[in-house]
Amino acid sequence: MRILIKNAMVVDPPKATSVRDVMILDTVIEAVYDSSGASGPGNFLPEPDRVIDAQGLVLTPGLIDVHVHLREPGQEYKETIETGLKAAAKGGFTAVCPMPNTIPVNDNAQVTAFILSQAEKVKGARVYPVGAITKGSRGEDLAPMFDMVQAGVRAISDDGLPVANSRLMRRALEYCKSLQLPVLIHAEDKSLAGNGAMNEGPVATRLGIPGIPNAAETVMVTRDIELSRLTGTPVHFCHISTAESLAAIARAKEEGVKITCETAPHYFTLTDEDITEYDANYKMNPPLRSQEDQNALIEGLANGTIDMIATDHAPHHADEKDVEFDKAAFGIIGLETALPLSLALVKKGVLSLEELIVKMSKNPAKLLGINNDIAKGNAADLTLIQPEQKFVIDPASFVSKSRNTPFGGMSVQGAVIMTMVNGQIVFQGEGI
């Protein structure tokens, strides 16, 4: 099967953005060329079976989300691998990294193999499973990382249950260095966060909701910067939410510590001041922070301290959210809203479109050790976007099994027109 994507604005930094034709043969990119040139390779290739007119559309290497929760095995009432990977495809993602906090935890090769076999049956995004650092993510004994890598794990994390024991974390980092396995760190001092349910500050006081101080994140960021420095193992910080964490990361990067970090669309779109009606769709961990923190995150996105945008897609059933704020589950879904929310940064002039694609595709690929350039011979994992298309976010239209989002009813701009994984169209919107 040969598919020609014609006249697309190809955004694939560091290459210059330009209008190109992209020919796909079965699973790979066969040629990328300037269709206006009479001597271009397009004139010598066989006729395609299908032509997609991409005039006025942006073609990017497939978006990659390094932080999602697909809930299978164990909590299929929230999401399944199938619904999660289809939601990802609809959101323009060609690959996602599901965190290990399933039931059972992905802390062994059997669970990893199960996740990959379920994913294989789905016409959607690819899966790059994340294995647990410790058995059961209990923070006591290291999980069998080598076995998990053999089974297909692409990164390691104890996400919501960070390793509190610094000596054990040091050993984990030393081990990951030898395996060249990316370490994804949810930085949180659980004892300091306590029973907090939102950002500690004047808004929490006014609402009478227990707070989580910025320091609960920042003390662990600081510890793991030092453990990275000590072991020489690169670390990646998940969902950074505070100005202080960002300052520590910027300083450590300057000193040459090998660190990357991400933030999520909700942190640069909302603040704790948006929490007014005890709506638990505004409850996530880390919590929505203050305006000053958000300003620092936006600055960090612009100056490159924040390398990536990830969703922390965390599906929950309505029953787990439809309770008092401090009793509700943490987390919101994000796969089907991330791109338009992030494109708002381009609209506001915070990022160029190229810089956004670096944060949503190129840097995540680099973290996972993947070459996803739109280039001959590479897998045809591509996202086609209409960046100007306006629409209103309607949770009823989500493919995800869950609806826990604070963004329902919001007017946004930027629609996914098509998502292609391994040469196969896994999502097709209106307009092509």
Pairing of strands 130-131, 50-53: unpaired
State the burial class of residue 420 (Cβ atoms within 10 Å of its Cβ: 0-12, 13-18, 19+).
buried
Note if 312 is an active site residue: yes
Nearer to Zn ion, 405 or 419 (CB): 405
From the CA atom positions of the chain, what is the Rg in Å? 21
Nearer to Zn ion, 159 or 217 (CB): 159
Extract the tokens encoding 215.
């320091």
Unique residue bearing structure tokens 């309770």:
323
Of 257, 280, 312, whose CA–CA distance to 96 is shortest?
Answer: 312
Kindly state the smallest distance separating residue 140's Cβ from Zn ion, in Å: 20
Instruction: Report whether 361 contacts 230 (CB < 8 A).
Output: no
Extract the tokens encoding 289.
């922070």
Question: Cβ atoms within 10 A of the Cβ of 104, count?
Answer: 14
Q: Which of residues 260-289 bind Zn ion (CB under 5 A)?
A: none
Kindly state the smallest distance separating residue 413's Cβ from Zn ion, in Å: 28
Kindly state the smallest distance separating residue 284's Cβ from Zn ion, in Å: 9
How many residues touch Zn ion under the rule CB under 5 A: the total is 2
Nearer to Zn ion, 161 or 357 (CB): 161
Nearer to Zn ion, 65 or 82 (CB): 65
Nearer to Zn ion, 184 or 415 (CB): 184
Give the angle subtended at the CA of 99 by the CAs of 96 and 105, to the nearest 5°: 140
78 binds Zn ion (CB under 5 A): no
3-state secondary structure 78-128: CCCHHHHHHHHHHCCEEEEEECCCCCCCCCCHHHHHHHHHHHHCCCCCEEC
Extract the tokens encoding 342.
């992030």
Kindly state the smallest distance separating residue 101's Cβ from Zn ion, in Å: 9
Nearer to Zn ion, 262 or 381 (CB): 262
Of 56, 2, 60, whose CA–CA distance to 31 is shortest?
Answer: 2
Cα separation of 245 and 252, whole Å?
11
User: Active-site residue among 312, 322, 326, 381?
Assistant: 312
Q: Which of residues 139-198 bind Zn ion (CB under 5 A)?
A: 159, 186
Residue number closest to Zn ion, CB atom: 186
Q: Which of residues 342-401 bind Zn ion (CB under 5 A)?
A: none
Kindly state the smallest distance separating residue 111's Cβ from Zn ion, in Å: 19
Kindly state the smallest distance separating residue 160's Cβ from Zn ion, in Å: 5
Extract the tokens encoding 44.
């010598």
Residue numbers annotated as active site: 312
The binding site for Zn ion (CB under 5 A) comprises 159, 186
